[in-house]
Chains A and B, each alone.
Chain A
Amino acid sequence: MSRIVFLEERCKGCGLCVAACPVHILRPSGRFNRHGYELMEMAGTCTGCASCAIMCPDVAIRVFRSVKPRENAA
């Protein structure tokens, strides 16, 4: 399964990632970072498309994509 990592202290809680996700698995988490911004969270199966990261103005998202076994072996 692919996954994303939020760099929580970079997040400004703008929610552009939530709107960008084509499979609608991102949502506000109810948790806040030190700056007082609400963090987002992932709930569902990530496709690793990186749409959220592309729209993030604060480069606060890293995307890990699961690779096919034969690529992995190479």
Chain B
Amino acid sequence: MSTEQRILIKGNEAVAFGAVDAGLRCYFGYPITPQNEIPEALSTLLPERGGQFVQAESEVAAVNMLLGAAACGVPSMTSSSGCGLSLMQEGISYMAGSHIPGVLVNMQRGGPGLGDIGPSQGDYFQAVKGGGHGDHRNLVLAPATAQECYDCMFRALALAFKYANPVLVLGDAIVGQIKEPVRRVPPADAVSEKTLAALAAPWRMEGYGKRGPDAQPRLLKSVYLAEGALAERNRLLAQKYAAMQAECAWECTDVEDATLVVVAFGSVARIARSTIRRLRAEGVRVGLFRPLTLFPFPAEALLALLPGRRFLVMEQNLGQMVEDVRLALFGQPGVTPATVQWHGIMPGLFVNADDLREPMLQALKEAF
């Protein structure tokens, strides 16, 4: 009998529990469906622990409060969905430009515009290509279950502080709303609050008096007007983004003997896994490649699967991650347009494992 206690909570609540267990001190957010359980849970969890919860007047304000708190080297986050993330792009770009470690959760909803409150993966480009103005990149994590929501908050804070860079947790309405058993135990790679504080010590805002009598004042900024200064800043950022490649994470299921590998993340990946399980029972050799980080995209791991296999990208948008998959395989011997196929689920739809069966069988037919 397992002595491990599990709690039955929504993905959104798991985000909140994971964040406070990982050392979160400040939360700033503005209500938007389908992520409201995150601020609701944190509005009691954080003050209980001496932390700060602020319901901001807008997402613009929330992300800038996050910028301020994270600049102090204090573990801080915000959360929102589609429309809200659009408003937050300004602050994300400034955080990237100033080396500030904000953590943001996007429980995606259908778009564009006001869209709906159902699941969608339409914010993929916005998340992984930067999203705001200027050249910047966010580290992007893609949980698919409530347990992963809990676990990935540890990883999100650790990565944000390691790189002094914004980290986005990209879920969706299904991931946020689904209620599942969660083990509330820090994951093996969890980083202590002390480690986070040590990572922030060289740059955090605190008042120079905290650093001794002869300390020099500090400045965190993104504006570089002197000739050559911004180029130098961008070179530094490029090096940082290159170093982030080391953080690639992914999961392979049933790929060893597969002739067709489905590439999917988040809620679509877990639905596809059910379909794959059923097809396998019928002897169909299909597997799943699931990126756990969307930036950096695990291109090399995907490339390693290329010999003898075809790929089907399944995502709930009009075709976004498929571009990164094609880019990963671009120029490789034997790669043809048929190597990477794509099946899009329209944002606003709820699909089940049966809905993905035909597209997979069709892809198998077309691929060989």
Direct contact of A and B (CB under 8 A): no
Q: Which residues of A approach B to under 8 Å, CB–CB?
A: none
Q: Which residues of B approach A to under 8 Å, CB–CB?
A: none
